[in-house]
Chains A and B, each alone.
Chain A
């Protein structure tokens, strides 16, 4: 499974757009990029998943450049309730390859 590197923490203010970048230099051809969100005292929650270019859903957007060696999770107009830890995961998840969560990025949204 590809190793990922993401910032340990980030601060933002309500209403701003937040971009969290994850580096995965040794991503394999068949690997997908998945992001999870974890609130305090809760289990992680799937946010978004992509393979290349751009993916958007009701929660976030995921930007993946052509070389796929990094990806950026974009949260539009964050609110206090977006304060959480965000995990970037890279891999081909099948029987034998399980989700591997790193330390994640702790996002603090301030009023």
Chain B
């Protein structure tokens, strides 16, 4: 069965450029989550969606980060004016409902800002 997919798998960009990361959740999952994982570190929670609504954006690191979701489908995480400290793996997860203990993670997008 189809799991969570993310694209691109790898992205190298120059400092100051904008990037858009995409997440396709498991069909029927109403909740979607974005995390960031720096090299050798644990996961840092960024934002969640219930349907296409993101009630709490306080986990986003700065106003250069934004996220959208279309209905209960695709989500995009956009980073404007990228900085070197944005380099990390960005992981997306989905779950059947918000707050489920079991979240299904995608493979991540490895972002490198040069």
Report A's interface with B, CB cutoff 8 A: 32, 34, 41-46, 49, 87, 93-104
| A43→B106 contact, CB < 8 A | yes
A interface, by DSSP: helix, strand, loop or mixed?
loop
Q: How many residues of B contact A (CB 8 A)?
A: 27
| A93→B100 contact, CB < 8 A | yes
Minimal beta-carbon separation of B103 from chain A (angstroms): 6
Q: Does B48 touch A at the CB level, under 8 Å? A: yes
| A98→B45 contact, CB < 8 A | yes
| A99→B105 contact, CB < 8 A | no
User: Which of B12-20, B62-70, B73-81, B91-99 is the contact stretch?
Assistant: B91-99
Q: How far, in whole Å, are A85 and B33 apart by their CA atoms in the complex?
A: 20
Chain B 17-38 per-residue mask, 1 if CB under 8 angstroms from chain A, else 0: 0000000000000000101000
Minimal beta-carbon separation of B101 from chain A (angstroms): 5
| B107→A42 contact, CB < 8 A | yes
Chain B residues near A87 (CB-CB < 8 A): 42-43
8 closest Cβ pairs, A-B complex:
A43-B105, A94-B99, A101-B43, A46-B102, A101-B42, A93-B99, A98-B45, A49-B101
| A102→B33 contact, CB < 8 A | no
Nearest chain-B residue to A46 (Cβ)?
B102
Minimal beta-carbon separation of A10 from chain B (angstroms): 16
| B103→A46 contact, CB < 8 A | yes
Minimal beta-carbon separation of B2 from chain A (angstroms): 15
